[in-house]
């Protein structure tokens, strides 16, 4: 094995990890893109894994916490993102256990409250059935894109619009 290739691969991995945490698969792909031979890549990544700098379990746990907090993604969307990053399905499921149904519901409520119109705009959209249905579809679609189940999405939207309608009547 060429020591120059090993050093080059090591530097690529270090630069990647300096930018942000990465899964082993992401690093494998980056090394392959840079033309690093597979045997060299595996040797370097095995060593990084031995010293704990590449850890898919830790990466998945952190990824789930971060994305759930910042983007308010539901477990199906998080699962999809972890799969795309090459995380083993069992590791992904273990990381997703951090999220409870109640946390997801609270996140969905927060998202809808933030995106729903207020004041006069809300009153206008709630006054007529067609515009109310359009608003409901728009909010449910927003939740669906973030991985929320349709049943929960409709319940949350109905609850928030009901709250907002009551608040605007006073």
Residues 7, 22 within the same domain: yes
- Convert the pLDDT of each residue in 137-154 to its tens digit: 999 999 999 999 999 999
Residues 138, 161 within the same domain: yes
- Convert the pLDDT of each residue in 48-89 to its tens digit: 999 999 999 999 999 999 999 999 999 999 999 999 999 999
**Ramachandran angles phi, psi of 85, nearest 5°:** -90, 5
Rounded to whole angstroms, the Cα distance separating 14 from 27 reads 10
Residues 137, 86 within the same domain: no
Residues 65, 116 within the same domain: no
Residues 16, 33 within the same domain: yes
Domain count, the chain: 3
pLDDT band, very low/low/confident/very high, at 169 (cuts 50, 70, 90): low
SS (H, E, C) the chain: CCHHHHHHHHHHHHHHHHHCCCCHHHHHHHHHHCCCCHHHHHHHHHHHHHCCCCCHHHHHHHHHHHHHHHCCCCHHHHHHHHHHCCCCHHHHHHHHCCCCHHHHHHHHHHHHHHHCCCHHHHHHHHHCHHHHHHHHHHHHHHHHHCCCCHHHHHHHHHHHHHHHHHHHHC
In the predicted model, is pLDDT for residue 165 greater than 90? no
- Convert the pLDDT of each residue in 93-119 to its tens digit: 999 999 999 999 999 999 999 999 988
CB contact at 8 A, 153 and 140: yes
Q: Looking up tokens 């090993």, which residue turns up?
A: 6
Residues 80, 117 within the same domain: no
Rounded to whole angstroms, the Cα distance separating 135 from 146 reads 17
Query: Domain range holding 122?
Result: 101-168
User: What's the rounded mean pLDDT across residues 115-134?
Assistant: 87
Residues 19, 47 within the same domain: yes
Instruction: Name the token pair of 59.
Output: 């990466």
Question: Which pLDDT belongs to residue 168?
Answer: 61
User: What's the rounded mean pLDDT across residues 28-44?
Assistant: 96
Which of 43, 67, 97 finishes a domain? 97
pLDDT band, very low/low/confident/very high, at 2 (cuts 50, 70, 90): confident
Residues 153, 105 within the same domain: yes
The residue among 150, 154, 144, 74 whose CA lies nearest residue 106 is 74
User: What's the rounded mean pLDDT across residues 4-19?
Assistant: 94
In the predicted model, is pLDDT for residue 170 greater than 80? no
Residues 129, 76 within the same domain: no
Residues 25, 38 within the same domain: yes
Residues 142, 116 within the same domain: yes
Residues 112, 148 within the same domain: yes
């Amino acid at each position: 094995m060429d020591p120059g290739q090993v050093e080059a691969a090591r530097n690529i991995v270090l630069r990647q990890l300096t930018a942000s945490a990465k899964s082993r698969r992401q690093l494998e792909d980056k090394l392959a893109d840079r033309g690093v031979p597979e045997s060299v890549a595996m040797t370097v990544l095995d060593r990084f894994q031995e010293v704990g700098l590449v850890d898919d379990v830790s990466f998945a746990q952190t990824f789930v916490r971060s994305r759930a907090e910042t983007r308010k993604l539901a477990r199906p969307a998080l699962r999809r993102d972890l799969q795309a990053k090459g995380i083993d399905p069992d590791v992904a499921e273990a990381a997703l256990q951090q999220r409870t149904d109640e946390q997801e519901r609270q996140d969905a409520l927060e998202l809808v409250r933030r995106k729903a119109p207020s004041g006069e705009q809300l009153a206008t959209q709630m006054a007529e059935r067609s515009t109310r249905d359009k608003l409901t579809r728009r909010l449910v679609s927003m939740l669906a894109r973030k991985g929320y189940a349709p049943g929960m999405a409709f319940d949350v939207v109905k609850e928030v619009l009901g709250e907002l309608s009551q608040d605007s009547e006073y």
